[in-house]
Structure 1
């Protein structure tokens, strides 16, 4: 499960999501989620077509070309 924290920097609130390698998370883009910033599927009930941004943590060492 990702670690989610809220932090303030320079007067702006930031949501920090820490993932382990291989973890995947759906980030809400419609702002209707009751679990914000995590998508809970609330966008399906909205009149516009916007889904989550799906993010997966990768190990940069594994992504290097051979």
Structure 2
């Protein structure tokens, strides 16, 4: 499903993730290559899914759900 340009409220989960990765990861680092950026993003995604806490989960880490 595509969303309209300029309407961030149509995809709240994606907007939340992009905001979090920019604020918590990318804004605090200087990247000299695409490889270092990719490595940082991969590590942040792992952190986001396994260690990061959220308000809605009462500050407990998110558990990974497997989809069959």
TM (norm. structure 2) is: 0.24
Pick the structure with more helix per residue.
2
More relative contact order, 1 or 2 (CA 8 Å, 6+ apart): 1
Pick the structure with more strand per residue.
1
TM (norm. structure 1) is: 0.24
